[in-house]
Amino acid sequence: MITVENLTKRYGGYTAVDDVSFTVRPGAVTGFLGPNGAGKSTCMRIVCGLTPATSGRATVLDRPYAALPNPGRHVGVLLDASAQHAGRTGREVLTLGAVTMGLARTRVEELLDLVGLTDAEAGRRIGNYSLGMRQRLGIAHALLGDPEVLILDEPANGLDPAGIRWMRTLLRGYADQGGTVLLSSHLLHEIEVVADELLVIGRGKIVARGPKNELMQATGTTVRSTDDPAFERVLADAGLQSVTDGDGLRVSADPAEIGALAARHGVVLTLLAPAGSAGLEDMFLRLTAADAREEVPA
């Protein structure tokens, strides 16, 4: 469990995090979304005890991170995969972590195998690692102490498609066994696939939160028929707005309502589904438009 209460962080006259409160529950993956500079990394650093808050409180397992005994045994953290000693080997980094936490050396080999780093790769200096290899090593280090909580910032960065699927499966299994996962990512599709709950931050404030399914329902429905222009007129007559996208029509209503309307008018549907990634992207861009560096069209 992660609990954040009225968290604020100011740097001089700039407020990076503004009275933020949220809870990350066990047994779930919580996706933490926000544009660059919105405050999500600052929040995660405060939770991990790396940045002091100006006011408010953040606890992990009902304690501030710094008050946890042997914190690596309780909380696994990956905030920057590049922040690893370039002159050490992957095996050395994990071995140092194991010794610090009081773990058996055999745990190092277990984790190297789990994250898919070979003996040869584990023996190479980290300065010669690709970004994807650094991510795998960082995830191994986060999991080293078999923690109850994982806090991961952009863990899929640099991973190839097979690596992203591997990470998704790993996190899903971890949460299904009762673990708590706070996952930040710019890859909206990955968040959509793996997350149970969503937090969206913009300009230092939480602008949306809740179960993914509930938030995604609000993004509408994608529908395709044998005659989309005719069905657009049916939708308009029913007072429903629709826009054309690459998959068909996007409608601001739930699938059951759209299906019932089509049935009443004898319309043959070839696709009827929640808006999915496109809907999540639209919701994200709409809620965080004030924070975006690029202009977001209305």
pLDDT for 241 beyond 90? no
What are the structural domains of the chain?
A: 2-210 (3.40.50.300), 220-274 (no CATH)
Confidence class for position 277, pLDDT limits 50, 70, 90: low
For the segment 186-202, what is each residue's pLDDT rounded down to a tens digit? Answer: 878 788 888 999 999 98
29-33: average pLDDT: 94
CB distance 43 to 61 below 8 Å: no
Whether 97 contacts 146, CB under 8 Å:
no
pLDDT at 297: 45
Q: How far apart are CA 202 and CA 205, in angstroms?
A: 5
Tell me the pTM. 0.79
pLDDT of amino acid 276: 60
* 289 confidence band (pLDDT: 50, 70, 90): low
Taking Cα atoms as reference points, which of 72, 110, 70 lies closest to residue 91?
110
CB within 8 Å of 205: residues ≥ 6 apart: 18, 19, 20, 39
At residue 49 the predicted structure's pLDDT band, cuts being 50, 70 and 90, is very high
Contact 79, 32 (CB under 8 A): no
The per-residue b/e assignment along 247-274, b for 16 or more CB within 10 angstroms, e otherwise, is: ebbbbebebeebeebbeeeebebeebee
Alpha carbons 12 and 20: distance in angstroms, whole number: 18
